[in-house]
């Protein structure tokens, strides 16, 4: 694999702004009452879609540290086929997937409306920002080729 320029290191002011967004996101999800472990599962799901090995490893570990079960972590890739998630959690996962895959269907109205039915305004806003921020992190790590070593 070709060694690439680490754009976060090269332009630390931009990296700090993204880090600041991450800190604000933590406050937003906390105020919305979204469990920290589940926040990492949402980030894990987006990272799986984007094939960001660095973030997949990071958020798997973070989810475990937050006492998420190995079963929920294991089935997050196929969450729709499991009973491990509540209707609210499924709406969040569906919305994160749709935002991550925005070029495919532009976040379909039915996904958004379903989320609006079961999520509060604060939860909806927090999940949308979560998807935007994790997708930014994924793109940073992937484009700079953050290497995941054993």
Q: What percent of the chain has pLDDT over 90?
A: 93
Q: What is the pLDDT of residue 50?
A: 97
Q: Is the pLDDT of residue 1 over 80?
A: no
Q: What is the pLDDT of residue 83?
A: 96
Structure confidence by residue, pLDDT tens digits, 84-128: 999 999 999 999 999 999 999 999 999 999 999 999 999 999 999
Q: What is the pLDDT of residue 65?
A: 98
Under the banding of pLDDT at 50, 70 and 90, the label for residue 147 is confident
Assigned CATH class of 17-143: mainly alpha
Spell out the domain ranges in the chain.
17-143
pTM of the model: 0.95
C-alpha–C-alpha distance, residues 27 and 23, integer Å = 7
Long-range contacts of 117-124 (CB under 8 A, 24+ apart): 117/91, 118/87, 118/88, 118/91, 119/88, 119/91, 119/92, 120/32, 122/28, 122/31, 122/32, 122/33, 123/32, 123/33, 123/34, 123/88, 123/92, 124/95
Q: Is the pLDDT of residue 67 over 90?
A: yes
Q: What is the pLDDT of residue 3?
A: 84
């Amino acid at each position: 694999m070709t060694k690439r320029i680490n754009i976060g290191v090269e332009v630390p002011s931009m990296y700090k702004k993204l880090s600041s967004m991450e800190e604000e996101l933590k406050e937003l999800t906390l105020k919305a009452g979204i469990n920290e472990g589940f926040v990492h599962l949402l980030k894990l799901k987006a990272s799986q879609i984007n094939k960001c090995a660095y973030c997949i490893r990071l958020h798997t570990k973070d989810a475990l540290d937050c006492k998420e079960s190995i079963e929920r972590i294991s089935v997050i890739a196929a969450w729709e086929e499991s009973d491990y998630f509540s209707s609210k959690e499924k709406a969040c996962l569906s919305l994160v997937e749709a935002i991550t895959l925005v070029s495919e269907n532009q976040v379909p109205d039915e996904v958004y409306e379903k989320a609006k039915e079961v999520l509060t305004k604060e939860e909806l806003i927090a999940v949308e920002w979560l998807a935007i921020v994790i997708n930014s992190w994924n793109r940073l790590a992937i484009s700079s080729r953050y290497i995941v070593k054993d």
